[in-house]
Protein backbone atom coordinates (compact mmCIF):
# COMPACT_ATOMS: atom_id res chain seq x y z
CA UNK A 1 0.00 0.00 0.00
CA UNK A 2 1.88 3.04 -1.28
CA UNK A 3 1.73 6.41 0.29
CA UNK A 4 3.28 9.06 2.46
CA UNK A 5 3.59 8.67 6.18
CA UNK A 6 4.21 11.44 8.66
CA UNK A 7 4.86 10.85 12.28
CA UNK A 8 3.81 11.65 14.84
CA UNK A 9 0.31 12.98 14.22
CA UNK A 10 0.51 15.33 17.21
CA UNK A 11 3.70 16.70 18.70
CA UNK A 12 4.25 18.90 21.70
CA UNK A 13 7.50 20.64 22.48
CA UNK A 14 8.75 23.25 24.88
CA UNK A 15 9.83 26.61 23.56
CA UNK A 16 13.53 26.68 22.68
CA UNK A 17 13.77 23.02 21.72
CA UNK A 18 14.49 21.79 18.23
CA UNK A 19 12.11 19.15 16.91
CA UNK A 20 12.28 16.90 13.85
CA UNK A 21 9.21 15.86 11.88
CA UNK A 22 9.39 12.65 9.92
CA UNK A 23 8.22 12.15 6.33
CA UNK A 24 8.60 8.88 4.46
CA UNK A 25 7.23 7.88 1.05
CA UNK A 26 7.23 4.54 -0.73
CA UNK A 27 5.90 5.89 -4.02
CA UNK A 28 9.37 6.12 -5.55
CA UNK A 29 8.75 9.82 -6.15
CA UNK A 30 11.67 12.09 -6.98
CA UNK A 31 10.47 15.36 -5.49
CA UNK A 32 9.41 16.00 -1.93
CA UNK A 33 8.00 19.08 -0.23
CA UNK A 34 7.27 20.53 3.17
CA UNK A 35 4.41 22.93 3.71
CA UNK A 36 3.03 24.77 6.64
CA UNK A 37 -0.74 25.22 6.86
CA UNK A 38 -2.23 27.94 9.06
CA UNK A 39 -5.92 28.88 9.16
CA UNK A 40 -6.79 31.32 6.40
CA UNK A 41 -3.28 31.31 4.94
CA UNK A 42 -3.42 28.30 2.67
CA UNK A 43 -0.27 26.25 2.19
CA UNK A 44 3.12 27.92 2.40
CA UNK A 45 6.20 26.17 1.08
CA UNK A 46 9.04 25.70 3.55
CA UNK A 47 11.56 23.56 1.64
CA UNK A 48 11.56 21.25 -1.35
CA UNK A 49 13.86 18.67 -2.84
CA UNK A 50 13.91 17.45 -6.42
CA UNK A 51 16.64 14.84 -6.04
CA UNK A 52 18.59 13.13 -3.29
CA UNK A 53 21.22 15.28 -1.57
CA UNK A 54 19.74 18.47 -2.97
CA UNK A 55 17.08 20.83 -1.62
CA UNK A 56 15.95 24.43 -2.01
CA UNK A 57 14.39 26.98 0.26
CA UNK A 58 10.76 27.75 -0.19
CA UNK A 59 8.95 30.92 0.75
CA UNK A 60 9.24 30.61 4.53
CA UNK A 61 12.45 28.64 5.17
CA UNK A 62 13.75 30.75 8.06
CA UNK A 63 13.95 28.72 11.27
CA UNK A 64 13.68 25.38 9.48
CA UNK A 65 16.18 22.88 8.11
CA UNK A 66 15.91 19.70 6.05
CA UNK A 67 17.98 16.84 4.70
CA UNK A 68 17.49 14.46 1.80
CA UNK A 69 19.94 11.62 2.27
CA UNK A 70 17.56 8.99 0.91
CA UNK A 71 14.99 9.20 -1.85
CA UNK A 72 12.18 8.04 0.40
CA UNK A 73 12.87 10.31 3.37
CA UNK A 74 12.71 14.08 3.84
CA UNK A 75 12.78 15.05 7.55
CA UNK A 76 12.07 18.61 8.63
CA UNK A 77 13.68 20.16 11.71
CA UNK A 78 11.91 23.05 13.34
CA UNK A 79 14.60 24.98 15.16
CA UNK A 80 14.37 27.32 18.11
CA UNK A 81 14.94 30.17 15.64
CA UNK A 82 11.46 29.69 14.19
CA UNK A 83 9.45 32.44 15.86
CA UNK A 84 6.00 30.94 15.53
CA UNK A 85 6.38 27.18 15.12
CA UNK A 86 2.93 26.06 16.27
CA UNK A 87 1.20 24.93 13.06
CA UNK A 88 0.05 22.02 10.94
CA UNK A 89 2.88 20.65 8.79
CA UNK A 90 2.25 18.78 5.56
CA UNK A 91 4.70 16.69 3.58
CA UNK A 92 4.13 15.96 -0.10
CA UNK A 93 5.84 14.14 -2.93
CA UNK A 94 5.63 14.22 -6.70
CA UNK A 95 6.64 11.76 -9.39
CA UNK A 96 9.26 13.19 -11.77
CA UNK A 97 9.79 16.86 -12.42
CA UNK A 98 7.05 17.57 -14.95
CA UNK A 99 4.96 20.51 -13.87
CA UNK A 100 1.69 18.75 -14.67
CA UNK A 101 2.30 15.91 -12.22
CA UNK A 102 0.24 16.33 -9.09
CA UNK A 103 1.58 16.25 -5.56
CA UNK A 104 0.52 13.57 -3.10
CA UNK A 105 0.15 14.50 0.53
CA UNK A 106 0.73 12.87 3.87
CA UNK A 107 -1.70 13.11 6.80
CA UNK A 108 0.22 15.94 8.46
CA UNK A 109 1.76 16.59 11.85
CA UNK A 110 0.26 19.12 14.21
CA UNK A 111 3.05 20.74 16.21
CA UNK A 112 2.31 22.68 19.35
CA UNK A 113 5.07 24.57 21.08
CA UNK A 114 4.30 25.33 24.70
Partner 1 sequence: AQSVSQHNHHVILSEAASLELGCNYSYGGTVNLFWYVQYPGQHLQLLLKYFSGDPLVKGIKGFEAEFIKSKFSFNLRKPSVQWSDTAEYFCAVTTNAGNNRKLIWGLGTSLAVNP
- The residue range among 10-18, 37-45, 63-71, 75-83 that interacts with partner 1, by the rule CB under 8 A, is 37-45
DSSP labels, 11-65: EEE-TT--EEEEEEE-S--SEEEEEEE-TTS-EEEEEEEEETTEEEE-TT-TTEE
Among 50, 65, 67, 77, binds partner 1 (CB under 8 A): 50
Regarding 107 and contact with partner 1 (CB under 8 A), the answer is yes
Regarding 75 and contact with partner 1 (CB under 8 A), the answer is no
Among 25, 106, 109, 113, binds partner 1 (CB under 8 A): 106
Omega of the bond prior to 8 within 30 degrees of 0, cis? yes
Regarding 52 and contact with partner 1 (CB under 8 A), the answer is no
What's the CA gap between 4 and 27, in Å, rounded?
8
Residues 6+ away with beta carbon under 8 Å from 3: 25, 26, 27, 104, 106
Regarding 27 and contact with partner 1 (CB under 8 A), the answer is no
Regarding 102 and contact with partner 1 (CB under 8 A), the answer is yes
Binding region for partner 1 (CB under 8 A): 31, 40-45, 48, 50, 58, 90, 92, 97, 99-100, 102-103, 105-108
Amino acid sequence: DGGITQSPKYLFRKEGQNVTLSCEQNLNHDAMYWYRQDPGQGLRLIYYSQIVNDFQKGDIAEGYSVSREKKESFPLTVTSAQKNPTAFYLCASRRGLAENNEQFFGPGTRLTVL
